Copies of this chain bind each other. A is one copy, B any other.
Amino acid sequence: MERSARVAEILSWYGADSPGTLTNLARLLEHGRLGGTGKLLILPVDQGFEHGPARSFAPNPPAYDPRYHFELAIEAGCNAYAAPLGFLEAGARKFAGRIPLILKLNDHDTLADEDDPDQALTGSVADALRLGCSAIGFTIYPGSIHRNAMYGQIREIAEEAKAVGLAVVIWSYARGSSLSKEGETAIDVIGYAAQIAAQLGAHIIKVKLPSDHIEQDAARKVYEKTGIPIGTAAERVKHIVQCAFDGRRIVIFSGGGAAEDAPFLEEIKAIQAGGGFGSIIGRNAFQRSKADALKLLGQVSDIYSGKAQ
């Protein structure tokens, strides 16, 4: 496709990266319904690992089949599909080249109680090349007592991925015994999580939509003193984007907590209004019938492409 001015601008932010990594970033940015707009809509399906299969797929049983998610992502015109090793291995040959793939290299289950979560390494850069992926994905838990080891892991993996021309997507989720439950989505904490992912060298950063809660006292003083606007969701998105190198790193947001479509689409509009780079939507996509999912993802795409508001 023609290179849009916006995609060219975004690629110019990654001057330390090789042409190989830029090529894969371009593949992500130029695929699907949002291709060329600078916006991203990604289907992630790691919930089978995170929450178990029945919690994840029983609401829409075709989703037990790994092929379902490739098809959903392709039919919805997503920019990419992200999943753990097993799900990608189960479809990578059949759907080779149909949609950019992101291999999640670490995963987390919920079979053991824990105050400070950690993730297990479940894939490698070599796996990503073998499966034809454009990027690797990695989750960090800022706030967990295991965070430093996780940062060290992604440092090493990201160096390896960049050397072979892959892009790096970091899921940055603040969690751990030092944070309150509402602190996990506090505006200061989400901004901090985005900054850490950016400093670790992520090309694409995925965070949750922040609330207007402020978790850390030291941060509260600054937010109040400098009067950072955080009253609306759009204002908060704008602040998070600022926290990730003043908008010079791609920041996308998870689907959020909304259970109903209307408030969910309001969140998308807020991300768009705040200058966010898009969404990564899992459960709101695959836990309903494909027809319903395609409808919802179509509405999301229309918002990000400017066709709807």
Contacts and interface: CB of A to CB of B under 8 A. Distances in A.
Interface in A155-213: 155-156, 159, 163-165, 174, 176-179, 188-189, 191-196, 198-202
A112 B150 CA distance: 14
A3 B155 contact: no
A87 B61 CA distance: 42
A130 B177 CA distance: 37
A142 B111 CA distance: 6
A112 B178 contact: yes
A18 interface: yes
11 contacts: A3-B98, A16-B92, A30-B97, A54-B223, A58-B226, A61-B242, A84-B199, A86-B199, A112-B145, A113-B178, A122-B155
A264 interface: no
A58 B222 contact: yes
A147 B20 contact: no
Interface of A: 3, 11, 13-27, 30, 48-49, 51-55, 58-59, 61-62, 64-67, 84-94, 96-98, 107, 109-114, 116, 118-124, 126-127, 129-133, 142-145, 147-152, 155-156, 159, 163-165, 174, 176-179, 188-189, 191-196, 198-202, 216, 218-219, 222-223, 226, 228, 239, 242-243, 245-246, 248-249
A189 B51 CA distance: 11
Nearest to A46: B199
A89 B120 contact: no
A33 to B, nearest CB: 13
A18 B20 contact: no
Contact of A147 (B23, B61, B109, B127): B109
Most buried by B among A27, A114, A164, A179: A164
Most buried by B among A20, A191, A216: A20
Contacts of A89: 14-17, 201
B199 A54 contact: no
A87 B52 contact: no
A279 to B, nearest CB: 22
A86 B222 contact: no
A94 B248 CA distance: 14
A193 to B, nearest CB: 8
Contact of A16 (B18, B107, B111): B18
